[in-house]
Amino acid sequence: MSGAHEEFGRMARKLGLGRRTGRIPATQPPPAAVTCGVPEGGPYPSSAGAGRRPDRPVASRALSERTRGALAESLPEVGAAIGEITRGFYASLFREHPELLNRMFNRGNQATGEQQDAIASALIGFASLLAYRPYIRPEDVLNRIAHKHASVGVVPGQYKVVERHLLGAMSEVLGSGMSSRVEAAWREVYWIMADTLMAREEQLYVSARAEPVPAWRHWRVVRRTEEAHHVRSFWLQPADGAPPPPFLPGQYVTVAVELPDGALQLRQYSLTSAPGDSLWRITVRRVQGTSRPPGEVSSFLHERIGLGDILAVSPPYGEVVLDDSTSPLLFASYGIGLTPFVSMLRHLVDTGSPRLVTVVHNDRCVGDHPLRFEVEDCVRTLGGRLLVGYEDRSGCPSGSYPGPVDLASLTLPHTTRAYLCGPVPFLRAARLSVIRAGVTPSSLRYEVFGPDMWQAPS
């Protein structure tokens, strides 16, 4: 996470984002088995616009003084209404393009409101940077979104569609507050973001050899292993027999599954294999339904996908990857957030790395702790330090901590590169603790298993 990224979050929070209330009805778990149903190449409908970058001039990356003034004036009002605006935006987008909800967007994130919050904080945070911190480069804060977009196959023509619905929702909510000057300023902000995202996405597609649209490949499940309570790994081999493409430790893939109600749902899973392995592995925690509906895709994978089945999988994406310095490393995770670090640890072992490694993992109980023995083996081979804390002490192995390990109490060299992954409350607390333990904020990276709620209000 860069300083620019932190500044981005601070600005979004300072301006205050509107509260969310909108929900769509719960969806039920799939009643019947469908293995893949996704053609290789791309599962997307073309009606929402695809193909090349829209035919319009590329916005200048810096705002004029006049536009900056209009933006700064309108930010408090837009900030206060942004929740309503993003809800209105998605409602109108999906009304006109229901296929986007059924074949591209994550309908769980729509139902919980998390995606609305993520885009709201992105818009306000970004506009605030342009208004008040024009020296920060847009590409520094948009990289994560570009990777997510590439992993789900966003294409340039869709930016026009999104612009229309977003600015339409803004104008509807703000009414007379949306003067033509304010509208022009926000349109300019939108296209600075869109152009930056499209340019980065194009680079990502080219480097994944996925041009002009994302290359979905079919992968066969050749092994399935139980890693903890409700956590299962799927070992994947390209169905065409070709070798798996390269990836960087820490990257994720998007898995597309067609559910029995016909909806195509996409979810990201970190690769838990090492780049040198002959198979790819993803490790999936099944999201249980307690007070909320069970997770659609994780349940489908656990219940329906077995040996020999075919999954449609994107190329690898994600910018939270193991750095190639020689600095000491700290990996701190909670629950299933361990997965990207397993790939990093396995890679360090495979390459005989001499780096100093500290792994801290917190979990609810020992039975929930995924890939426990594998991580222990890696840390032992690397001569590293492993600290594990369980909230529920029953059956805990000796040496583990009662409750979460206090990251602030660690002694860490000031050159440490820290990687964090887990639920947002864990990330917020862990970030403060590792900084107290001596890690500089610019040496800190985090992965969130959902829309980037790190930036959104807690």
Q: Which of 7, 258, 296, 368 binds ligand FAD (CB under 6 A)?
A: 296
Q: Which of residues 111-130 bind ligand FAD (CB under 6 A)?
A: 111-112
Which residue number, 285 or 347, has a Cβ lying nearer to ligand FAD? 285
298 in contact with ligand FAD (CB under 6 A): yes
What Å distances lie between residue 5 and 85, 143, 317, 350, CA to CA?
Answer: 23, 10, 19, 32
26 in contact with ligand FAD (CB under 6 A): yes
- Among 6-14, 156-164, 358-366, 404-412, which window interacts with ligand HEM (CB under 6 A)? 156-164
Check if the beta carbon of residue 430 is closer than 8 Å to that of residue 332.
yes
Q: Which of 5, 144, 281, 361 binds ligand HEM (CB under 6 A)?
A: 144
CB of 286 to ligand FAD, least distance (A): 7
Cα(152)–Cα(61) distance, integer angstroms: 26
333 in contact with ligand HEM (CB under 6 A): no
CB of 351 to ligand HEM, least distance (A): 29
Q: Which of 8, 44, 105, 269 binds ligand FAD (CB under 6 A)?
A: 269
Backbone φ and ψ for 359, nearest 5 degrees, come out as -115, 125
CB of 126 to ligand HEM, least distance (A): 7
152 in contact with ligand HEM (CB under 6 A): yes
Which residue number, 56 or 436, has a Cβ lying nearer to ligand HEM? 56
Lookup: tokens for 124: 């306000």
What Å distances lie between residue 258 and 25, 33, 43, 148, 174, CA to CA?
Answer: 19, 9, 10, 20, 38
452 in contact with ligand HEM (CB under 6 A): yes
Lookup: tokens for 166: 């977003």
Q: Which of 5, 217, 267, 281 binds ligand FAD (CB under 6 A)?
A: 267
449 in contact with ligand FAD (CB under 6 A): yes
When CB distances are held under 5 to 8 angstroms depending on the partner's kind, the choice from ligand HEM, ligand FAD, none that residue 112 binds is ligand FAD
Q: Which of 70, 141, 162, 345 binds ligand HEM (CB under 6 A)?
A: 162
169 in contact with ligand HEM (CB under 6 A): no
Backbone φ and ψ for 433, nearest 5 degrees, come out as -65, -45
Q: Which helix (H) or strand (E) holds 324?
A: none
- Among 64-72, 105-113, 234-242, 435-443, which window interacts with ligand HEM (CB under 6 A)? 105-113
Check if the beta carbon of residue 24 is closer than 8 Å to that of residue 110.
yes
Query: How far apart are the two ends of the chain, measured CA to CA in Å?
Result: 19
CB of 275 to ligand FAD, least distance (A): 16
Q: Which of 283, 314, 358, 443 binds ligand FAD (CB under 6 A)?
A: 283
Exposure string of 332-360, with b = 16+ CB inside 10 Å and e = fewer, is bbbbbbbbbbbbbbbbbbeeebebbbbbb
Cα(338)–Cα(227) distance, integer angstroms: 12
- Among 67-75, 103-111, 212-220, 395-403, which window interacts with ligand FAD (CB under 6 A)? 103-111
Check if the beta carbon of residue 341 is closer than 8 Å to that of residue 325.
no
Q: Which helix (H) or strand (E) holds 407?
A: none
Q: Find the catalytic residue in 7, 84, 114, 201.
A: 201
Could you confirm whether 201 is annotated as catalytic? yes
Q: State the sign of the Cα–Cα–Cα–Cα dihedral 427, 432, 433, 435.
A: positive
What Å distances lie between residue 130 and 85, 186, 260, 397, CA to CA?
Answer: 20, 11, 45, 51
- Among 38-46, 147-155, 355-363, 381-389, which window interacts with ligand HEM (CB under 6 A)? 147-155
Q: Find the catalytic residue in 159, 190, 205, 419.
A: 159
451 in contact with ligand HEM (CB under 6 A): yes
What is the CB neighbour count within 10 angstroms for residue 219? 25
Q: Which of 67, 270, 416, 433 binds ligand FAD (CB under 6 A)?
A: 270
Lookup: tokens for 112: 């919980």
297 in contact with ligand HEM (CB under 6 A): no
Count of positions (residues) in the chain: 458
Lookup: tokens for 382: 């690397």
- Among 8-16, 169-177, 409-417, 444-452, which window interacts with ligand FAD (CB under 6 A)? 444-452
Cα(179)–Cα(222) distance, integer angstroms: 59
268 in contact with ligand FAD (CB under 6 A): yes
2 in contact with ligand HEM (CB under 6 A): no
> Site residues (CB under 6 A) for ligand FAD?
23, 26, 106, 108, 111-112, 252, 267-270, 283-285, 287, 292-293, 295-299, 318, 336, 339, 447, 449-450
Residues annotated as part of the active site: 159, 201
